[in-house]
Every structure is written in structure tokens, then in C-alpha cells.
Structure 1
């Protein structure tokens, strides 16, 4: 299990893993929130728990340039709120790469945020990624590669 998990996150993961056959229990597990501010982190956690947010994305920059680990199919993620409380345990269904300017309406809808439209998705994510890259001393490019993660909820806190 990930080192950063608090007891509530660990208990959620343990309960789920014990429901699986022994051979299926070996998984990479982490815990984190989505977004970079309290309001959106809490909102996204609730959307995941409700089943309306089934995907997320991030700049490939973080993985290719900063060495963060890219999720793999079958990985588990405890989605937390801003304060670290678990809201859902999700399993990665797929992890793919796609340029920002090639994201389609289906993926925007799977992200489950805003009004679910591609137009809303593009504007919100462009703003977010511009802010991220500015903080890194760089600029966001509309052709920037994204890591797309699709997932399903496998457990909720009791």
C-alpha cells in the first residue's frame, strides 16, 4: 500500500482486497485527490463517489519530465477529498495518451465535470493546464500530450 495513506484509506483498500481472490490482491495502490484546490478536489471526489466522474487526465509533462509514475490498468486509487478522507476506491480500466487538442466529447463527458460538454472541458482544462505550466516556468501548448485515465468505482467507504 502507498505510504501516504491514512488509516481510513488503508481500511477501505484492505476491505476491497479481501473480497478478491488471493491472486488478484497484488495491486499498485495510491491515495490522492483530484484538482489543485479544496473546492474542486471535494467536488470531484463527490462526482467519483456518485459514479458520474469516470475519468481524469493530467499533463504528460509530470510523468515524462518530472518522473511521476504513470498509472497502469488494474491499479487502485483511493480518491480522497482535500482533507485526505476517502470518498471512493477506483480501479484503472485504461491509461492512454492523447494530445489536448484531440480530446473528444466522449472523454469530456466521462470526466463528468461542469456541464459535461467538450467546450466546457476545453476551457476549464486549458485554464488549469496554463496555470500549472506557468508555475513550472513554461507555457501550455494546445498540442500538449495528456495522460487519460478511465476508471470504475470498486468500493465506497462504509
Structure 2
């Protein structure tokens, strides 16, 4: 099937204007097998991120072609056959050395670790720039994309799919609404990092980005971690928030654990907590942990039940109270 044929089928089934712009492209790889392997990871749901060289856009005078949230693409295999339609929901530009672990996990390759991602992409980006006089360094900027699969021929995509998003100002309104609902219901801000004490959303977003930066020097209270917004794809509403620590102080090992999370008060009892915790544990597996601690209050029976149900089905697990 060609990209035009797949796009027409997608637009017909999803009631989308066929004249909506899209790009057709294949993942870069050293071999055709690499291209097909990466496309297959997308089809399996393991790969929902990719990265490209910002400097290439600059050199080609094509900054207006940098992907944006909402952009559609048709993914091709090595034979230029269309395999699926994707749509970007999160795009940011960051120095290579500042790219956080969650993006490496989102790219779905190897053991999904930041080390693996850096090793593979250092070579990739050097090749991208080898015909120029611009060297590739830790400060070289890269365009990081997260995307959702919108259509696979012959396969149903769940309507209640959840997107896991690093905090950016693109979701400022949802963060503010989530924060206000948590305040109105007097809910504890578990898994929200410093959201409660930061009414300035820009300050909160910047704080979360800084906390996840792998080049940041860890403090005795902070260590490293990632805040993930949980967005319901059907209406792009923020339904939950997770705080995932990939390094712990001794105090955090006892009281905080690797994972904290909360569900928006109006969205509770819909099964979101189980999906969130399952994603958190899968992400943490990219760090090679053999044991994961999840914290919750002693009186929170629902959270304890969710933790044990998900944790015991994954690997060695401790519910930290």
C-alpha cells in the first residue's frame, strides 16, 4: 500500500479531511533491516518517540519544517510501503546532553536506557553532520518528538489510550486545571512533584525539566527523576500525574520510593491508576532495577491494592508505606 492509499483509507475511516497535510517517511538506519525493525517497534507500541538533528534544519534553511504537535506522518518500511499513521503530541528542542531518560525510553530501542540511546545517536548524529564543518557535541541540539499511533490497517486502536508526556508549556492549561481540581478537593498531590506550591506553571514546567536533566548535579534531597503527565488521548485531558525516581537517597528509599502517582479526582475509579503504575514500572525497567519501591499512605487502601496487583505481576516489588 502506498502512503497516499493508506492516508486516504485513514481519512475515510476517521472522518478527516483528506487534504490535511502529512509527511511520508521511513526511520533512518544503517540498513534496510534497521528501518523495518524501527517501524515494527512502532506497530508493537514500544516505540513512540524519535529524534532528529536541529542543526540539519538550520543548515538546510528549513526551520519551518521542524515537526509540531498535531502533525501527521505516514510511516514507511524499507520498501516504501506504508505501515501506519502517527501524530506528534509533544515536540521540544534540547541539547543532546540534556535529553532525559524518558525520551530514550520512548524511542524503544535496545534496553531503552539513556546510555544505549546516547551511544546509538552519537554515531547517528555524527553521520548527519559529517559532510559539514559543524562538529557534534553534547551541546548540539536535537529535536525530540513523541507521537501516538493513529491508524494501523486492520487493527483497532483503543479509544481510551493514555499518553505519557513530560511537562511542557504546551500542556499549561491542563496542568493548571489539574492543580486547581486537586486543591478544590483537598487531595494530596502525590506524584506531582512541586505542583501544589507552584501556581506559576512556567516555573513548575522548568523545575520538572531541570529535575529530569541527567547532567544536573544531584542534591541530597533531589536526586534524579521524571514527572510524567498522563493525558487521555480522546480529549487531551490530564487525568493523572506520576513522579518517577531513577535514583534515591537513603531517606527516599524508606519513605518516597521509586514511584508516586495521583489521579484527577473527577477521573478516579476508571482503571487509570493500574495503567499508570504499569507504565511507570516498565519505564523503570530501563534502568535495570531488580526491585522497585512504590509509596502510598497507610490509609490509602485503593493505592495499596493497585500497587500490589501491578507490582507482583512484574518483578520483585516493595510497597513502601
What TM-score, normalized to structure 1?
Answer: 0.87
Match of 1:10 in 2: 4
Match of 1:109 in 2: 105
Larger relative contact order (C-alpha < 8 A, sep ≥ 6)? 1
Match of 2:78 in 1: 82
1:133 matches 2:126: no
Match of 2:37 in 1: 43
What TM-score, normalized to structure 2?
Answer: 0.44
Shift of 1:120: 0.3
Q: CA contact under 8 A between 1:27 and 1:74: conserved in structure 2? A: no
- Residue 112 of structure 2 aligns to a residue whose secondary structure is coil
Rg larger for:
2
- Residue 62 of structure 1 aligns to a residue whose secondary structure is helix
Q: Give the one of 57, 62, 79 matched to 2:56.
A: 62
Q: CA contact under 8 A between 2:93 and 2:143: conserved in structure 1? A: yes
1:27 matches 2:23: no
1:100 matches 2:78: no
Superposed CA deviations along residues 2-42 of structure 1, whole A, max 9, x for unmatched, are: xxxxx6211211122123345x6653201111114312211
Q: CA contact under 8 A between 2:53 and 2:128: conserved in structure 1? A: no
Shift of 1:127: 1.1
Q: CA contact under 8 A between 1:12 and 1:156: conserved in structure 2? A: no
- Structure 1 Cα separation of the partners of residues 59 and 40 of structure 2: 31
* Number of residue pairs matched by the alignment: 151
- Structure 2 Cα separation of the partners of residues 136 and 27 of structure 1: 35
Shift of 1:134: 1.3
Shift of 1:83: 1.6
- Residue 74 of structure 2 aligns to a residue whose secondary structure is strand
Superposed CA deviations along residues 108-151 of structure 1, whole A, max 9, x for unmatched, are: 00000111001100111011111221133432111111111110
- Residue 152 of structure 1 aligns to a residue whose secondary structure is strand
- Residue 52 of structure 2 aligns to a residue whose secondary structure is strand
- Residue 2 of structure 2 aligns to a residue whose secondary structure is helix
Unaligned runs of 5+ in 1: 1-6
